[in-house]
Amino acid sequence: MGGGRSAVSPKADHGRRFQGLAPRAKEEILARLRSIEGHVRGVLRMVEEDAYCIDVLKQTKAIQSALDRVNAMLLDRHLHHCVTTAIRSEDPRERERVIAELLDVFQAGGGQR
């Protein structure tokens, strides 16, 4: 991570796109992510100002919980749309692909990269 910004490539979708979230669900996810972003900035200030370690840890745990909720929302959407569509597909390779993707996400370091 070396002091710079996170390396999230816009091309990291491997040719696939997020299949239209309901506008309300998308806004809820975006609002949560914006809130998390603000929370992270606050923790950054805490560290810069040498805040008490336990206070910082409490805030980072809260951020992790908020990220876990976003992940749950995204996973729910993926399972109910992308995975369901692939499993109902006539193409066995498509079914295998979505299952492999899920296994990759959850087996690689406990779902953390």
- Per-residue pLDDT tens for 1-59? 445 555 454 445 555 665 667 788 899 999 999 999 999 999 999 999 999 999 999 99
- Higher pLDDT: 23 or 91? It is 91
First to last CA, the chain: 12
**CA 72, CA 64: separation in Å to the nearest integer?**
12
CATH topology of domain 23-111: Methane Monooxygenase Hydroxylase; Chain G, domain 1 (1.20.58)
Lookup result for tokens 């569509």: 85
**CA 65, CA 39: separation in Å to the nearest integer?**
12
Q: What is the pTM of this model?
A: 0.74
